[in-house]
Amino acid sequence: MLLGVIADDFTGASDIANTLAKGDGSSGGLSTAQFMGIPSRNVGPDIEAGVISLKSRSIPVADAVEQSLAALAWLQAQGCSQFVFKYCSTFDSTAEGNIGPVAEALADVLNVKGVVACPAFPAMGRTVYQGHLFVNDRLLNESGMQKHPLTPMTDADIRRWLRLQARTEVGLVSAATVRSGPAEVSSALRASADRGETLAIVDAVSNDDLVTIGEACANVLLLTGGSGIALGLPANFIRSGHATGKVRKFAGRQGAEAILAGSCSGATRGQIEFHARDHPSLNISIDDVMNGATKSANLVEFISSNHGSAPLVYSSGTPEQVVASQQRYGREKVSERLDALFMETAQNLVDRGLRRLVVAGGETSGAVAQALDLGDLEIGPEISPGVPVLISRQRDIALALKSGNFGEPTFFTDALVALAGGDPK
């Protein structure tokens, strides 16, 4: 294995795996596999990039660090010469962590400083300029992320936000430096290291900027960022002759289908509204889940009776509704009960022969993926920016695991078409 990625959630892992599999469009990508947690065995020589999916974004800092270091050790044992710590393109974290502590812990083990920190993902409207993170034309803290129920982002200055989490000062490589080329970026990162800065925010407002950063980091041990940070990395291995740039063709999966949505993001709520116009849809009441009136058997029966019609089950509410439920029952209890409900439902559906599964929401996707014991996931074609087809040969199913904010209004039907081997476009 050439490149190893440690991702702090499941949908983010799929996102960066997709980036590595397709590359920057100029020379091909890497043969990529996604792992649900740290594997217990070594991988074969056909895997050029491995992405370990953790569920460490919102857990206690010490646990996140411990899991990430264990993932690093496994990737080192596979022979990786470069590592990426992948977090959300909206820099989802609290003032305490977990991005800063995990990144610094990885840097300490690898004995590196001046490490890139760049959450930019221009294809999804996430750009970084002068250390500030934008979502489309809005600063991060004005984009709706300030209302996130787990990691409210109240400051767009991610250099300042990261400094709250980090032990050392945080550097900045400006857009002007990035535009000057790979050599200047490399020089700026070395200067950051010389100043004792473990991490340095690197501006990026376009894919070209990300390719420049990737080229500048051809020989560095560690990078951190959103999936976009991997855009220019496959070309480095292909140019050096260590990778071929060829990927396998996806044949598709036919048969029973289901869509499960547990995200309260604006994008997912819009996708639910669009899908529900023409397809059977079941809205889960949080009250009914908490008092036991709604059980997995109810969801399985609804989905099974509507196979062939792209059935959707969702628990997505407005941020105000989510807060009200959390205040009534407790945030952790609501999350645990919903995760358990979706996990049991997915298990029962797959045991009954489900072949195509779409899951919306990072936390929901992580819970479902863990419950299904999917084994190694092969990365298939891209459904929409940041969301690939995932193939589990162990369970013989195809999946799409979507972060809440990703995808067009037609995403759910697009995904089911792609999972069957068709072209959603």
Asked if residue 244 belongs to a domain, the reply is no
The more confident residue out of 88 and 370 is 88
- At 182, list the tokens: 């790979």
How confident is the model over 99-112, as a mean pLDDT?
98
- For 136, counting Cβ atoms within 10 Å of its Cβ (0-12 exposed, 13-18 middle, 19+ buried), the class is exposed
Kindly state whether residues 141 and 80 are assigned to the same domain: yes
Asked if residue 270 belongs to a domain, the reply is yes
Asked if residue 406 belongs to a domain, the reply is yes
**Residue 425 pLDDT > 90, yes or no?**
no
The more confident residue out of 232 and 148 is 232
The Cα 209–Cα 90 span in angstroms is 18
Q: How far is CA 32 from CA 15, 66, 322, 416, in A?
A: 12, 25, 36, 22
Per residue in 409-419, is it b (16+ CB within 10 Å) or e — as a string?
eebbbbbbbbb
Q: What is the pLDDT of residue 347?
A: 97
**Residue 367 pLDDT > 80, yes or no?**
yes
Using the 3D structure, point to which of 211, 239, 267 is the last residue of a domain.
239
**Residue 74 pLDDT > 80, yes or no?**
yes
Which residues 6+ apart lie within 8 Å of 273 measured at CB?
Answer: none
- For 100, counting Cβ atoms within 10 Å of its Cβ (0-12 exposed, 13-18 middle, 19+ buried), the class is buried
At 372-384, the pLDDT tens digits run 988 889 898 889 9
Reduce the DSSP state of residue 45 to 3 states and report it: coil
Q: For 212-216, 361-365, 410-414, which range has the lowest pLDDT when averaged over its residues?
A: 361-365
Which residues 6+ apart lie within 8 Å of 28 measured at CB?
Answer: 234, 238, 244, 245, 246, 247
Asked if residue 378 belongs to a domain, the reply is yes
> Residue ranges of the alpha helices (H) in 230-292?
233-239, 266-276, 286-290
At 394-409, the pLDDT tens digits run 899 999 998 878 889 9
Asked if residue 30 belongs to a domain, the reply is yes
Q: What is the CATH number of the domain that holds 216?
A: 3.40.50.10840
- pLDDT band for 224, please (50, 70, 90 cuts): very high
Q: What is the pLDDT of residue 88?
A: 92
Kindly state whether residues 140 and 29 are assigned to the same domain: yes
Asked if residue 250 belongs to a domain, the reply is no
Determine the length of the chain: 425
**Number of domains making up the chain:** 2
Kindly state whether residues 219 and 293 are assigned to the same domain: no
- For 219, counting Cβ atoms within 10 Å of its Cβ (0-12 exposed, 13-18 middle, 19+ buried), the class is exposed
Kindly state whether residues 294 and 147 are assigned to the same domain: no
Kindly state whether residues 113 and 140 are assigned to the same domain: yes
Asked if residue 424 belongs to a domain, the reply is no
- Per cent of the chain over pLDDT 70 is 100
Kindly state whether residues 328 and 387 are assigned to the same domain: yes
How confident is the model over 43-69, as a mean pLDDT?
94
Q: What is the CATH number of the domain that holds 300?
A: 3.40.980.20
Domain housing 278: 257-419
**Residue 247 pLDDT > 80, yes or no?**
no
Q: For 55-59, 72-76, 203-207, 409-413, which range has the lowest pLDDT when averaged over its residues?
A: 55-59
- Indicate the average pLDDT of the chain: 93
Using the 3D structure, point to which of 172, 207, 239 is the last residue of a domain.
239
Q: What is the pLDDT of residue 375?
A: 85
At 184-215, the pLDDT tens digits run 999 999 999 999 999 999 999 999 999 999 99
Q: What is the pLDDT of residue 25?
A: 79
Q: What is the pLDDT of residue 324?
A: 87
Kindly state whether residues 372 and 293 are assigned to the same domain: yes
Reduce the DSSP state of residue 221 to 3 states and report it: coil
* E-strand stretches of 345-410: 356-360, 377-384, 387-392, 397-402
Asked if residue 247 belongs to a domain, the reply is no
Kindly state whether residues 307 and 225 are assigned to the same domain: no
Which amino acid does the sequence have at 139? Answer: L
The Cα 233–Cα 12 span in angstroms is 17
**Residue 412 pLDDT > 80, yes or no?**
yes
At 294-330, the pLDDT tens digits run 999 999 999 999 999 999 999 977 778 888 888 899 9
The Cα 47–Cα 80 span in angstroms is 11
Q: What is the pLDDT of residue 369?
A: 86
Q: Can you state the percent helix, strand and coil of the chain, rounding each to 5?
A: 40, 20, 40
Q: What is the pLDDT of residue 363?
A: 81
- pLDDT band for 46, please (50, 70, 90 cuts): confident
CA nearest neighbour of 253 among 377, 407, 398: 398
Using the 3D structure, point to which of 239, 274, 297 is the last residue of a domain.
239
Query: For the chain, what is the radius of gyration of the CA atoms?
Result: 20
Is residue 122 within 8 Å of residue 205, measured between CB atoms?
yes
The Cα 226–Cα 1 span in angstroms is 21
- pLDDT band for 227, please (50, 70, 90 cuts): very high
Q: Give the bridge partners for 200, in sequence order.
A: 116, 171
Q: What is the pLDDT of residue 404?
A: 79
Kindly state whether residues 226 and 328 are assigned to the same domain: no
Kindly state whether residues 62 and 190 are assigned to the same domain: yes
CA nearest neighbour of 390 among 414, 348, 419, 353: 419
The Cα 42–Cα 422 span in angstroms is 33
Reduce the DSSP state of residue 384 to 3 states and report it: strand
Q: What is the pLDDT of residue 233?
A: 97
pTM given for the model: 0.81
Kindly state whether residues 123 and 93 are assigned to the same domain: yes
Kindly state whether residues 323 and 397 are assigned to the same domain: yes
At 142-194, the pLDDT tens digits run 998 888 877 888 999 999 999 999 999 999 999 999 999 999 999 999 999 99
